[in-house]
Structure 1
Amino acid sequence: MNRLIFYIPLMLFVFVTACQTKKKASKFRFDTPEAGTLVPLGESVPMKLVFPEDVSAFDSVVYTMDGKVMARKTDSTVVSLSTENAAFGSRTLSAKLYHDGEERVAYSNIVVVPPTPERYSFKVVAEYPHDVNAYTQGLEFDGSGALYESTGFESTGQSGKSSLRKVNYQNGEVLQKIELDTRYFGEGLTLVDDKIIQLTWRSNVGFVYNKNTFARTGEFTYGQSKEGWGLCYDGARLIKSDGTSRLYFLNKDTYAEEGFVEVYDDKGPLDSLNELEYIDGKIYANVYTKDIIVIIDPKTGAVEGEINLIGIYPDKADYNNELNGIAYDRNGDRLFVTGKLWSKLYHIELIER
Structure 2
Amino acid sequence: MKKAKLLLLFILNVLFISCGSNSDKNKSEFSLSFVSSKAEFQLGETIKVVVQNPKNKKIDSTSFYFETELLGTATSTPELEIPLNFEKLGNQKINAIVFSEGTADSLQIAIKIFNNKAPEIYTYNVINTYPHDIEAYTQGLEFFKDTLYESTGQYGTSSLRKTNFETGEVLKKIELSDQYFGEGLSILNGNIYQLTWKEGEGFIYNLKDLKKTGSFNFNNSKEGWGLCNDGKKFYKSDGTEKIWILNSETLAEENFIQPTTNKSISTQLNELEWVEGKIYANTYQKDGVAIINPKNGAIEGIINFKGLRDKVKQHPQLDVLNGIAYNPNTKKLYVTGKNWNKLFEVEIVKK
TM-score range, shorter chain: 0.7 to 0.9
Amino acid at match of 1:113: F
1:312 partnered with 2:280: no
1:252 pairs with one of 248, 254, 260: 248
SS state at 1:268 partner: coil
Describe the SS at the equivalent of 1:269: coil
Shift of 1:308: 0.7
Task: Name the aligned partner's letter for residue 139 of structure 2.
Answer: Q
Structure 1 residues 318 and 303 mapped into 2: Cα distance closer, same or farther (>3 Å)?
A: farther
Matches within 5 A, 1:211-230: 211-230=207-226
Partner Cα separation in structure 2 for residue 319 and residue 265 of structure 1: 33
Number of residues paired by the alignment?
Answer: 286
1:243 Cα shift? 0.9
What is the rounded CA distance, in whole Å, between the counterparts of 2:201 and 2:236 in structure 1? 13
1:136 & 1:204 partners in 2: Cα distance?
19
The question of 1:334 aligning with 2:332 is answered yes
1: CA distance, partners of 2:349 / 2:276: 17
Contact 1:34/1:109 (CA < 8 Å) preserved in 2? no
Q: Residues 232-311 of structure 1 correspond to what in structure 2 (within 5 A)? A: 232-311=228-307
Normalised by the size of structure 2, how large is the TM-score?
0.72
Does 2:105 correspond to 1:139?
no
Q: 1:149 to 1:42 in 2, by over 3 A?
A: same
Q: Name the CA distance, whole Å, in 1 between partners of 2:34 and 2:188.
A: 52
The alignment partner of 1:326 has SS state of: strand
| Runs of at least 5 residues in structure 2 that lack an aligned partner in the other structure | 1-32, 50-62, 75-80, 95-108
Counterpart residue number, 1:197: 193
- Correspondence 1:88 to 2:86: no
Question: CA offset at residue 92 of structure 1?
Answer: 7.3
Q: Retained in 1: the 8 A contact 2:318–2:340?
A: no
Q: Does the alignment pair 1:119 with 2:105?
A: no
- The Cα of 1:216 is off from its aligned counterpart by 0.6
Query: CA 1:65/1:33 → structure 2, altered by over 3 Å: closer, same or farther?
Result: farther
Q: Is the 8 A contact 2:153 2:182 kept in 1?
A: yes
Compute the TM-score of the two structures, normalised by the length of structure 1: 0.72
Structure 2 CA distance for partners of 1:272 and 1:320, relative to 1, 3 Å: farther
Q: What letter is aligned with 1:124?
A: V
SS at match of 1:265: coil
Question: Structure 1 stretches of 5 or more lacking a match?
Answer: 1-28, 48-63, 72-79, 94-107, 154-158
Q: What percent of counterpart residues are identical?
A: 46
1:282/1:212 Cα in 2 relative to 1: closer, same or farther (>3 Å)? same
Query: Take 2:316 and 2:243, find their aligned partners in 1: how far apart are those partners?
Result: 27
CA distance 1:179–1:309, change in 2 (3 Å): same
Counterpart amino acid of 1:147? Answer: L
Partner in structure 1 of residue 346 of structure 2 = 348
Does the 8 Å contact 2:124/2:346 carry over to 1? yes
1:85, distance to aligned residue in structure 2 (A) = 5.4
CA shift digits 1:182-215 (9 cap, x unpaired) = 0000000011132111110111110011112111
Deviation readout 1:69-117 (Å, 9 max, x if unpaired): 999xxxxxxxx98544554234679xxxxxxxxxxxxxx9763211211
Q: Say what the alpha-carbon RMSD is for the aligned residues.
A: 3.3
Q: Displacement, 1:171?
A: 1.4
> Offset of 1:218 from its aligned partner?
0.5
Larger radius of gyration: 1
1:156: which partner in 2? none
C-alpha distance in structure 2 between counterparts of 1:276 and 1:187, whole Å:
11
Shift of 1:322: 1.3
